[in-house]
Structure 1
């Protein structure tokens, strides 16, 4: 399992499910629900394709409001908690006007916030509360906060825990205040310990700063390094403690909000890798081409994850129409300039602005990078004609040098074969050559 898969499994294992709702526990020790975390976990789950679980969190939150109809721990409503629940619920078609009014009623005319926290929590974490309101409806309120931030001495935040400091950076990014967010980050001088005067890490802070750097598209090497630091400190069950040894932030608890920010940063880590990746332009090897030709169905072909289109070019004479799709980045730009019928796609199997059905879909050296095999397989199946063929080709990691693997690359032959068989009626596995393996799947009767 990849680090991502382990963390997603931990989230599910620490979710208490009912018939049509569910809640996520604070940690493996504190097993009561945490509305704030569930709220901002919902968009993360949706990015992972976990729509059913996101829906259950939504249902639980709607059924379990405080007496005043808002959210917070132990019956007391807070602005930040309510705003994060709002962020999750806003992913659905729900009238949240009353929640929006609750949020804006906590903003003073000078752009500060009415609700005060303990002395160790900066009130400006609520920048991330206001930032989540729709700009079209509440630009005037958001402008109050923007104008006030521009007049604030950003160095004043450095005394606070990095966890809260990172919320402020994220809020500034969402408000479109990139310069202020960058200044806040640079004030740290790349020191990502829990506080500036200690030498221990709060793991959620590391994940948050990594995510913010990816959002800013700045200091990407450090953003990647922070993800890899988290992977090294991930527990075997996919969880993270609050901090490393020597720290005093839930050191012995597996806490849920680290998992949320780790998944966010991890997905951005993969996306950045492919955005800047230049796929090979060399001609594909004979064995893989012959494998496709021997197993294809004549007609229309989709190359899912087409790289720079070398298989499109090599297979043109074998299909009357060829389509390709690729993630946003260098390879997609290259293909669009060279071939017709090229579309953008995501890592959940969605091809944007395309409604075609295909006789053959090929997926070459893609599933080793994908974190959601089941979801992508189902999406690809929906794009096939009734008797269409799915042809998957990938590296045999039993043969390849394991040191060239990226942290997110993983493909177990037995478990992946099992997954395909859960979705397709007919599945065969093939050893193509010393370096590559393949699967052919269809629903033919």
Structure 2
């Protein structure tokens, strides 16, 4: 008897949640599950700001897919195209081998990527905030700017080093900036010649408000709290140029900086462009409320890459917002619908009224709005931690994260830059060059 193959493209939060639920629901021999992702782990993105700030050990915010998915097949590969007419995927494995993969049921949940704009200098100077690598890099980068600034007598260089710009006032940008500013403020207590007012933190947002996910009053409250800490919040402002670190803003402000963090929006994974599946005007897969890709019965999608009808809104054209809250709940409904499809049972529609949002704004500070109830300061910060701890996959990772937080209570926060992580061969190359050896010795690459 043929064992149906379920292929899941994407091992992020949605893909992992879905696969874990399928492992619990499927009977032995009922279906074979294959998860494909370019990374061998899932990154829990809501904890990236705390990993960047040093409150959490970076390894604790990622879940190895093979460890969590013992009953599934995990492939570390890149899907380059989907040909649903023949139920075939084209994948490129880690060694460069290109293979064709057949499926019976397909789940497309690759997530999204940073949406960069053609701004001069952005590609050369900007860094995103969607991966654990970017979070670790920014932590080391910010701390290294403090080290260099504390050692230089060049005032213009010092100002450049101590200026940090974030573009994008959504949750990702606000939380990343708030946590890193909190970390830097804590770190300079060990730098006698750097005062908090020597640092300049600038948030640039093209819209007229920050955090559109919450009500306007909560967005205004968050803006005030950031400004109380000396952070400049520039609304209705765009970055026109940032060549060589010289930033020109639409409000006429110009300054030099070594740190440009880009969190101004996301777009569906470009892999979707190489498929014969229907997409909407934003490039997302066009889905029904049952999370099936429209026009198919055996292809499903959820999360940032899926345009799913929002049945809680009166507008028939309303779609679910690209939030983690919707994505994870969609993953559970999708798993149930896949099992129902296998067993010839009725599929259910996805319906979830947005409950609200929680945001961390640095140590002991936060903003939250849940079911219309507004929380500020320490209660919101605590709710942010409790909520995301509950949503973190696997018991072992919950325990490790809770342990990191408890260690913060009696001990000082660890603030040290480990820049060698980003270029571990630099000293070897330097030594090889002084001896006249080739700097790109093949085996070391």
Whether TM-score is above 0.5 comes out as no
Q: Which is richer in helix?
A: 1
The structure with higher relative contact order (CA 8 Å, sep 6+) is 2
* TM-score calculated relative to the size of structure 2: 0.24
* TM-score calculated relative to the size of structure 1: 0.24
